[in-house]
Amino acid sequence: MVYSLETPVQIDNLDLDELNQRFEGAHPREILAWCVANIPTKFVQTSAFNVDDLVITDILYRELKPKKPVPVMFLDTLHHFPQTRELVEKAIKLYNLDLRTYKVPDVGSREAFAGAYGDALWDRDIQKFHYVTKIEPLQRGLAELQAVAWITGRRRDQAVTRANMPIFEHDIKHRIKVNPIAAWTRKESWVYVAEHKMIYNPLHDQGYPSIGDEPITTKVADGEDERAGRWRGTGKTECGIHI
């Protein structure tokens, strides 16, 4: 099924409470189809290429196929696992992604990053590390793309801090933030992957249910929270881009 944009809704007039009531319990495909058909073309998916992000990309690019592909924004922190970088390249070829990559300005490697910010900035100042590698590039990217709405791959069952997350919300700039798989469980995402024989990061099979930057992502033991391996020992539950 190919979706084209209809007369776009007025973003400022959207009743998010009504939308959340309407789409609670809906399949992510229905949520994304509504977005593609109703939100103006300045609509972006943000992706770290975790399995949940790829589920959304698969729905957008393989199932919905809007005439104007939804840009996929990737924050290149320069510290991703090699497996993540390889997956990004596979996804570009498989889906013919409209990929938009944003990173720290004027820094092109881990070595250059260390030269600019010192060794292991994440150990010395995790807040600054996340600001320069994620928060600033995200906000710059959304502004450059003139995004009025953006998609995340967050789920309510990922962490207690996300338990009450709505499907539709506003971000700090009053853009629409869409969480189409908010109500899904980890199991439902993996069922989708199996049904559609999707590609995914092999690290997911090696004890990494949630994959971030290599220096600060560890394996998760049985019984631990899904995101326990992110920023272990720092007390952080979010990197800052969703606050």
Which residues are within 8 A (CB) of 189 and not within 5 positions of it... i.e. 6 or more apart? 51, 52, 55, 155, 181
Specify which residues 80 forms β-bridges with. Answer: 213
Task: Check if 239 is active-site.
Answer: yes
> For residues 162 and 10, what is the distance between their CA atoms, to the nearest angstrom?
28
Given the residues 239, 240, 241, 242, select the one marked as catalytic: 239
Identify any residues that bridge with 229 across adjacent strands, giving them in sequence order: none
Question: In sequence order, what E strands does 121-218 have?
Answer: 149-151, 168-170, 176-178
Q: How far apart are the first and last CA of the chain?
A: 35
Nearest-CA neighbor of 13 among 32, 37, 38? 38
Helix 28-38 and helix 16-23, axial crossing angle in degrees, nearest 10: 140
Q: How far apart are CA 65 and CA 94, in angstroms?
A: 14
Give the residue numbers marked as catalytic: 239
